[in-house]
Chains A and B, each alone.
Chain A
Amino acid sequence: MSTKTETQSRGKAPAGERVADWADGRLGIYGGAKKNLRKVFPDHWSFLLGEIALYSFIIILLTGVYLTLFFKPSMAEVHYHGSYVPMQGVLMSEAYASTLDISFDVRGGLLMRQIHHWAALIFLVAMFVHMMRVFFTGAFRKPRELNWLFGFLLLVLGMFTGLTGYSLPDDLLSGTGIRFMEGAILAVPLVGTYMAMFLFGGEFPGTDIIPRFFAIHVLLLPGIMLGLVVAHLILVFYHKHTQYPGPGRTNNNVVGYPLMPIYMAKAGGFFFLVFGVISMISATFTINAVWVLGPYRPDKISTNAQPDWYMGFSEGLIRAMPAWEWVIPTGHTINFGVFIPLMLLPAVLGAIAVYPFFESWVTKDQREHHLLDRPRNVPTRTAFGAAWISVYFVLLVGGGNDLWAIFFDLSINTITWFVRIGFFVVPVVVFMITRRICLGLQRRDRDKVLHGRETGIIKRLPHGEFVEVHEPLPPEQLHLLTQHHQYEAAELPPAVDKNGVESRPGIIEKVRVRISRGYFGDHGQVPKATPEEYKEIMSGHGHH
């Protein structure tokens, strides 16, 4: 430091500043730096979920580049002569052979493969849970609906990047997955056979699918995802991060710590923590041991054929679907048994994607929302989210019905029937239960505000009665439990207004009013305590 001050005193700027000057003259960096270097971000553990997703994406890119140096995306058949003894002389594709080489002959290659695969699994878990955090706290509300969609697209693209990625080694398991994909494409009415021929460059499996998946997996999808990630982050910066309600936190401010130095150290450090943990997992827990499975052959199969977890719900759809296959009068076959699951896949995902637009249509709320909701304060949304997750998990159970049957010694037919019925029943039950729980929590909040906290101290009054001492909440708590906005249920305009003009609301408006009543009517939320109620009780007269 002392040398820098000396040079400054001699009238020359320090080296760092001169570099910055050079860059500023060409890029204009000082404006952005002034705005952003001390930009404040709020702190909460749940905000780390998105960071985990971002960092695992970066880890995937880094390890993925390394893997491309050794992987041969070719389906040319070779006899294996590497150092893995059990596969000696076995006929296999170059893709599978080079995956074995990466695993057994390249030093550190196995580690990079393991980190790449583990990071992909964690990437998708993190995106999924991050999306749930955003959903249940209402962080998707205006002005963040588009960023919600960017995030959603990242999740879907992440799923398909994962799918094309784990298909590349051309092992028995992933080849079976590609075969399944062919069958699903064939089920598309009218153009299915053409699509399959075009995708595979002829009959299944052909020799084109691995090179084509390779280009999609390493270039096309990650390229789009990289752009979306950048857009996602720019919008996070631009909108400023949401924050949880609390003392001093308002809809018009952001309370937290500055980017420099706190978040540079914390978030930068967190990247290394995530990378470190994934490395250690990869060192100790083997994943996707393709060498055990052997190369793909269309006439061979292993049991427990499972996709990676994030495709499990689609697997559940396909396994649970009844065998409906009809020949229509034109002499064509419609394979509903496969085609309906194929259509339900985007529908299940799409339901959560369009929710922000649905909710803003119900509330007609045009304001910006930067304070997060406590999930209990929006019972219907929370219940919808929980119901959606329950469908997802019912389908995951369906996707792993063989594993459930083995581990829990159950009948696979029973599990399949459970999934078939549960797909419709479980979300309804979960919806109702979650909504009741939220309303109960709201009621407890209201009681706490009006009657204070139970101290656990029992007092005996002079006339012998026992009472529990309740302690009024501190102002921070009072504020937190009452700060949320409660919508009023929408109402239809009176049938005839005061000028005698008949009002005829459209069917859509009628539906909206119905839904709004469900959200914000008497059964949709518990009215929060008002200052008047509080004062009345505090003044000692209001006891009941």
Chain B
Amino acid sequence: MSSQTGSHKDVSEKHLPSAQDSTAVAEVDENPFADPGIPHHEPRVQDIDERAAKRSERTVAMFFIVSMLATIAFIASFVAFPVDKIFYLFPLGHISALNFSLGLSLGIALFCIGAGAVHWSRTLMSGEEHVQERHPIAASPETKAAAIEEFSQGAADSGLGRRKLIRNTMIGALALVPLSGVVLLRDLGPLPEDKLRRTMWKKGLRLINQNTGEPLRPEDITVGSLVFAKPDGLEDDSHEFMHEIAKAALMLVRLEPKDIKDKQELDWSHEGIVAYSKICTHVGCPVSLYEQQTHHVLCPCHQSTFDLTDGARVIFGPAGHPLPQLNINVNNDGELVAEGDFAEPVGPSFWERG
């Protein structure tokens, strides 16, 4: 620490705390770390030079004038640009002329009001700091005593402590009355019953290609492709479409039968075509990213990964159980049909699932 040795002797006197001013000298003897108080207020150039103040005034006024012009520009663009006008602006690309001009002019109109006001306060309003005392938040002992006294009088007057019957029945009544509100919530929705356990699929129901709307045939499904299917009779514009497809959505791939490791999967497939629920067993996103080489499918929401060659076993990610498989076959017309509903509930698991 030799660098500090002697250093203080070489420092010019005026930097030493004791040399700063006469009041500080007295304080340093007492406590060198004492609060030196609010620094002396330095006037700004606008405080002493009227021309500088005038300049600031003009700057503020200029901001406000620009704001007015921008508002006029806003109205003009609203009238001038058709709503569907698109133009190219580097580097933003193709953008809506109306949105761009409205947003920019509104932004400038607002920003300039703010800039003017802030500049005004910083340059022309008093720059001197004020000091105000704080007062304790808690009440004085007298106030507290008086409040307690008032409260005791009120409490004694009510007789709540003495008349237990009134107190207890009142608590009972107040506790019960919100029940009406709870009961009213009953009709928010139906009871679950077995709604989550069954889907539209049943024996003999044909698989309809989601893209073509035609019944699927085994030859429509080539190796390496992923085909989405829905149950026959479920029309896109029907009332029940949304909640039925949310359970019944199906994906099909064709595997080499020798690649299928799971026995039941093989039994439920047709010529290597396997049909699995498209609804992820994690929280219900449609599983749709298919790796042709590994026959893994990945859910794009939370990356649960299922191995389609092994009973759709979960090989990575947060899903808790495999995708349910649909047992499929072909009918006499050579169309793919379901052999029945899924053997287990599709989608995310739930308490009663078992």
Contacts and interface: CB of A to CB of B under 8 A. Distances in A.
Given A322-B318, A467-B3, A468-B7, A265 B117 contact: yes
A535 B27 CA distance: 12
B8 A475 contact: no
Interface in A316-358: 318-325, 327, 331-335, 337-338
B229 to A, nearest CB: 10
A262 interface: yes
Interface string A231-253: 00000001110000001101111
B103 A284 contact: yes
Interface stretch (B164-172, B218-226, B267-275, B283-291): B283-291
Given A104-B83, A248-B37, A248-B39, A269 B300 contact: no
Contact of B17 (A266, A325, A416, A472): A472
A451 B108 CA distance: 51
Nearest to A533: B32
Contacts of A216: none
B137 to A, nearest CB: 5
Contacts of A459: 7, 10
Given A105-B83, A193-B352, A276-B111, A299 B15 contact: no
A412 B316 CA distance: 10
Contacts of A119: none
B181 interface: no
B121 A183 contact: no
A373 to B, nearest CB: 17
Contacts of B32: 475, 478, 531, 534-535, 538
B245 interface: yes
Task: Tell which of A239, A333, A335, A402 has the most Cβ of chain B within 10 Å.
Answer: A335
Contact of A107 (B38, B83, B100, B354): B83
Contacts, number: 390
B20 interface: yes
A279 B6 CA distance: 61
Q: How large is the interface on B (under 10, 10 to 19, 20 to 34, 35 or more residues)?
A: 35 or more
A180 B301 CA distance: 9
A272 B352 contact: no
B350 to A, nearest CB: 4
Task: Tell which of B120, B129, B278 has the most Cβ of chain A within 10 Å.
Answer: B129
Contact of A452 (B1, B11, B95): B11
A338 B351 CA distance: 12
A266 B120 CA distance: 9
A201 interface: yes
Contact of B300 (A261, A303, A323, A466): A303
A107 B98 contact: yes
A269 B10 CA distance: 50
A324 B136 CA distance: 54
Task: Tell which of B20, B31, B237 has the most Cβ of chain A within 10 Å.
Answer: B31
Interface of B: 1-11, 15-17, 20, 24, 27-28, 31-39, 78, 83-84, 92, 95-96, 98-104, 106-118, 120-122, 125-126, 129-134, 136-137, 185, 188-192, 195-196, 210, 228, 230, 236-237, 242-243, 245-247, 249, 278-279, 282-286, 288-289, 300-304, 314, 316-321, 347-354
